Amino acid sequence: MNPLSHLAAYPLNDVSTDVDDPPPLDGRDGAPAGGPPMSPERRKKSRRAYPDLLGGLTLERGADPALALAEATARAQPGWSIGRVDRAAGLVTAVAATRLLRFRDDVTIRVRAAGATSRIDVRSRSRLGRDDLGANARRIRSFLDALRAAARR
């Protein structure tokens, strides 16, 4: 079985850990919340293609320390350029350049307080094309793995 066969059935270029209330994307010029909303069709496809990503990540720390850790982790990601950090909104935005063709993809990390813990959600969207062949989901998984590792230190 082809490991990418599910992607043919669910072509995506916009993936989020929270499809019901996805983090906002910045505009191409870095302006806050200028990116397109996630369509209902993309939400449905994302649920089917990447159920393992749904629910984000919960960190056992408050929102401010969680945002600081998420920002530091984002800054350490290869090929990522931080666009802005909005501490009041709990957002870190970035542009991630793909390795081979240097396509630029938009990424938003959102941190929300949940009592004594924090929930981290990530959204990654390709600027070009309708199908990313799983690149955005891999980017989100890689970031969340790095964030988990940083939280254990």
This prediction has a pTM of 0.88
What pLDDT is stored for residue 1 in this prediction? 44
Query: Is residue 76 classed exposed, middle or buried when 0-12, 13-18 and 19+ CB atoms within 10 A define those classes?
Result: exposed
Q: Tell me the two tokens of residue 52.
A: 């393992």
Confidence of residue 146 (pLDDT cuts 50, 70, 90): very high
Looking at the predicted structure, is the pLDDT value of residue 103 above 70? yes
Domains annotated for the chain, with CATH where assigned, are 12-152 (3.30.530.50)
Looking at the predicted structure, is the pLDDT value of residue 7 above 50? no
Q: Give the number of residues written for the chain.
A: 153
What pLDDT is stored for residue 129 in this prediction? 67
Give the H/E segment covering residue 80. Answer: strand 80-86
Widest CA span in the chain: 46
**Residue 88 vs residue 38, higher pLDDT:** 88
The mean per-residue pLDDT over the stretch 12-36 comes to 79
Tell me the pLDDT tens digit for each residue of 15-25.
999 999 999 98
| Cα 140 from Cα 12, distance rounded (Å) | 14
